[in-house]
Amino acid sequence: MKFDFLSESDQAYFIHKASTLVEALPFIRQHSGDIIVIKYGGHTMGDPKLAKSFAKDIGLMKEVGIFPIVVHGGGPQIAERLKTKNIDSKFVEGLRVTDIDTVKVVEDVLANEINTEIVKSINDSGGNAIGLSGNINRLISATQLKIEIKDSDSNIEKIVDIGFVGQPTNVNIDLINAHIQAGKIPVIAPLGVDDNENSYNINADTAAGYIAGKLRASKLLLLTDVAGVLDKDKNLISSLTLDDAIKITSEEFIVGGMKPKITTCIEAMKNGVNKSTILDGRIPHSVVLELFTEHGIGTQIYT
């Protein structure tokens, strides 16, 4: 009879893996039964390796008793499709001006391409995902988003029409809960519909935060392309109280898309979400690291 013996390096490797599982156990117990909403987009979604690790993370969450809900973006893919169709993109306050031709492209890319790809990726990893589009079956009701900007010459504020860009006004939580109870992982395209059946493009962060608030989710995770919230010296702020998060939005070093992300977290928590985290989606298995390790990653906001 032949016996195979592990080398010391192999033993160390497997001991490390066992230690990781032991470390994760209390966090698995802590989150079991929780609804967690994850906004998925940016670099993570465009990188095949990161996309695969994300899909495995979502499948693992479901296997250990968590109820994940994925809300995805698609800005780069939409921009590429508009380019191929020779449709110019204009932006106001970081939001894409969306006319009737543009919103048709947005619907197609988000609901028919990206959503389908994410669902397939999660299912290929052993999950049980179902694709949902916010403008179908009135999953997300919306109205046109009103943008106010200040005229540089007159200093007078005026409302700018940016077309079919929406603000969510309601979510069909019964439909989402029905899929959860059926053992599904909802993957939601951030589209909305109004009373006249007009479809609207909704910012994915906004949609994720709104859905999390309506479901009173345990946690909201916003995956982004930076480490998290950075201070004035570009160092990561690992945690913020809700009050500190409100205060920090007025700081000059909170620039670009970070301010609306923090605001999204704040609004979600005001509506019943326990905690929220802005984390770096460029790190493989970032969701698992955030949920199942002692220190997590990114910036966590808590009450």
Name the burial class of residue 109, with classes exposed (0-12), middle (13-18) and buried (19+) by CB atoms within 10 angstroms of its CB: buried
DSSP 228-289: S-B-TTS-B--EEEHHHHHHHTTSTT--TTHHHHHHHHHHHHHTT--EEEEEETTSTTHHHH
Q: Round to the nearest angstrom and report the end-to-end CA distance of the chain.
A: 61
Is the pTM of the predicted complex or chain greater than 0.95?
A: no
Domains annotated for the chain, with CATH where assigned, are 37-302 (3.40.1160.10)
Q: Which residues pair with 299 in a beta bridge?
A: 278
Q: Are 109 and 74 in contact (CB under 8 A)?
A: yes
Q: Which residues pair with 188 in a beta bridge?
A: 71, 132
Closest CA to 72 of 227, 232, 250, 202: 202
Q: Residue 122: CB partners within 8 Å, gap ≥ 6?
A: 55, 58, 59, 70, 128, 129, 185, 187
Q: Helix crossing, 48-63 with 115-124: angle to 10°?
A: 60
CA–CA gap between residue 61 and residue 31 (Å, rounded): 9
CA–CA gap between residue 278 and residue 228 (Å, rounded): 5
pLDDT (tens place) for every residue of the chain, 303 residues total: 544 555 666 667 666 667 677 777 888 898 999 999 999 987 778 889 999 999 999 999 999 999 999 999 998 889 899 999 998 888 887 788 888 999 999 999 999 999 999 999 999 999 999 999 999 989 999 999 988 776 666 666 778 788 999 999 999 999 999 999 999 999 999 999 999 999 999 999 999 999 999 999 999 999 998 899 999 999 999 999 999 999 999 999 998 789 999 999 999 999 999 999 999 999 999 999 999 988 788 999 998
